[in-house]
Structure 1
């Protein structure tokens, strides 16, 4: 890989919105934002129901 930059990872432990605002456009391949927990709000879980298409085909 001579002549090319090595990929690097950076982990921020901060407010995701604040960090994202400081990133340059097109500078990230992946951004993972972990939702805030213990906010005092009531949270609900929904169960996703799926059904297989006949013949296993898609569109």
Structure 2
């Protein structure tokens, strides 16, 4: 690994996810989050991101 330095390794993206968020969930909400992620085969983080966008879109319509 000589010569790599601080270079990031991974897929290049136009929209890096560099902000981390920690949340506390009750069991029922965690179960729903897991079910959603499994049903559409995406990460829990992606479910949260989509939920935020959907909620925000609803705010703009008011």
TM > 0.5: no
What TM-score results when the alignment is normalised by the length of structure 1? 0.25
TM-score w.r.t. length of structure 2: 0.24
Tell which structure's C-alpha radius of gyration is larger: 1
